[in-house]
Structure 1
């Protein structure tokens, strides 16, 4: 028998949006994935259409009524701005008018943090296309970074890609020593034959930011293989990320590493070594084994005053993995 207390978690990203539903015991009953819900890159009409499709599919999959939803938690970039919070609530009530539960909207750090700590306490460092560090202690939050690719995002995938292209340009112009291996890998990944073609490949792409960020994977692989140019770029990025954490991290507080950059074991280990040198006392570094959307579910449960016990945690982990496998 389906519970009358259902919770929805949403991880709204710049590339995709994930949405999950669970009961008060943490059993995930539905999962859907759709397009971006980032207002900086898509129109409101496009976002509302995406949400309409996601909610429609979610409730069909879960086979529950709207009125059984006790709470919704949205973890999305820009979710700490009042205007964006209002828009999210309006969108959800518009596409799912039967929902009577509370809708909480916060930035994407909340889902990322809770995916590691299964609470709303701790420090999280997100390094994906962008970068941000966020700390929540005793109900008080503080952020560093998250200024976007035009003003910041140091240590992010975009930052690595931009540095890589800058190195290629400087090598081409004779402003620095040529690293043939590095140049060939970067140019090949862009599907161009010469450095002169980089301008067209980047500036005429429909999503130049995403294209530049995609180069990060190749930079990391080169660094892992020992390429000096790539190691210099990665080292600079890691130091930038440590600076973000350094500003807000407190000892004896767990640090969650999230985002595409930390999907690489090499990057996790390299950052861990740098972090340990700065903080020699034992520190808990958590690499989440569930996606941020599960963290959003944790937040939804907590905001609904549900206890996230070890049983609930285990249910969230096992049932979400089961649904993830069905999507692959």
Structure 2
């Protein structure tokens, strides 16, 4: 690392994992750190604090006397003042001599910037949870993002929960049994009987993440034309499209990201449903991760737009 450069940290705090990146003022990513979920509404505070401090310490370990200019955190719950206060407090505890700026925003910011290289536009995130967000200057509109207890429609958690409900109903005889569906879901959970699901889920230390992980199986089964899986996935896509309808216009670009969209089949099916519903907004799948988007937000916080050279550097160093 060059001593005359300034450095920036971008952190994406997701429902399943947290990723932090360190970049220089040219947009070159020079370090990466990962930890568990930092969602304060679904994980114990002591675990969140530990994860945050691990990421910050690992990223700054090689900085020595080099200047850390700013830190931008894009995380679930980042628009709640009480969560912002805790994030900033824990970062300052880790870096007591840090004099730069710390910004904490919700997870839409990093996701949006990863596709637009700005902090304005419209974004849909569908991972462990789900949220649609529109940002234009000081005006913001949020749709969804109500959490797993009474929200997160169409999310990985929602898909996983519907799969468990389906297996339970098939076990009880209130739904027609689909042997392939039941076998694949139970096999993924390393279970031999539906009756074992209660212990496996309720006694898991992170049940929300475990349930969300089942979405992978459902999407794979849907791709194989399994009917129960197709029903669950189609309902999820309908719910996600309902979220976006509330924020998008005909000429808008919609940045779409999150774990569900890592599946090419899910992307394709989502696009087909949008075409059927005549939702003509252009969909953009970012080449950068939300953590890189958080780095972009950190760089933008200096008051200057991202240059073409910075874009090129971010793209070329992102996979390293």
Aligned to 1:15: 16
Relative to the length of structure 1, the TM-score reads 0.92
Contact 1:52 1:96 in 2 (8 A): no
Deviations, residues 136-158 of structure 1 (Å, cap 9, x unaligned): 12331111111111101110111
Deviation at 1:273, TM superposition (A): 1.4
Structure 1 counterpart SS, 2:318: helix
1:38-53 map, 5 Å? 38-53=39-54
- 2:319 is equivalent to residue 317 of structure 1: no
User: Which residue of the partner structure matches residue 87 of structure 2?
Assistant: 88
Asked if 1:307 corresponds to 2:305, the answer is: yes
Which residue does the alignment assign to 2:207? 208
Task: Note closer, same or farther for the CA distance 1:27–1:2 as it changes in structure 2 (3 Å cut).
Answer: farther
Indicate yes or no: 2:118 matched with 1:124: no
Tell me how far apart the structure 2 counterparts of residues 239 and 279 of structure 1 sit (CA, whole Å).
Answer: 13
Aligned counterparts of 1:64 and 1:306: Cα–Cα separation in 2: 26
Deviation string 1:82-112 (CA, Å, 9 cap, x unpaired) is: 1111111111111112221111110011111
2:69 equivalent in structure 1: 70
1:2–1:64: 8 Å Cα contact kept in structure 2? no
Pairs within 5 Å for 1:144-163: 144-163=143-162
2:15·2:129 contact (CA, 8 Å) conserved in 1?
A: no
- Residues 198 and 60 (structure 1 numbering): CA distance in 2 closer, same or farther, change over 3 Å? closer
Whether the aligned pair in 2 keeps the contact of 1:6 and 1:22 (CA below 8 Å) is yes
Contact 1:70–1:304 (CA under 8 A) maintained in structure 2: no
Residues 157 and 212, structure 2, Cα contact 8 Å, conserved in 1: yes
Q: Which has the higher helix share?
A: 1
Tell me if 1:167 matches 2:166.
Answer: yes
Q: 1:23 to 1:227 in 2, by over 3 A?
A: same
Q: Is the 8 A contact 1:51 1:95 kept in 2?
A: no
TM-score, normalised with respect to structure 2: 0.94
CA distance in 2 between partners of 1:77 and 1:5 (Å): 27
Q: Relative to structure 1, is the Cα distance of residues 272 and 196 closer, same or farther in structure 2, using a 3 angstrom cutoff? A: same
Structure 1 residues 55, 203: CA separation in 2 closer, same or farther (over 3 Å shift)? Answer: closer
Greater alpha carbon shift after TM alignment, 134-143 vs 236-245: 134-143
C-alpha separation in 2, matches of 1:276 and 1:190: 35
- Aligned match of 1:247: 246
Deviation at 1:42, TM superposition (A): 3.8
Distance in 1 between the 2:40 and 2:284 partners?
30
Pick closer, same or farther for the CA change 1:280–1:135 going to 2, 3 Å: closer
Structure 2 alignment gaps of length 5 or more: none
Q: Could you tell me how far 1:64 is from its partner in structure 2? A: 4.3
Which digits, 9 at most, give the CA deviation of each residue in 1:223-262, with x for residues without a partner? Answer: 0011111111111110000000111112222111111111
* Partner of residue 326, structure 1: none
Unmatched segments (≥5 aa) in structure 1: 323-328
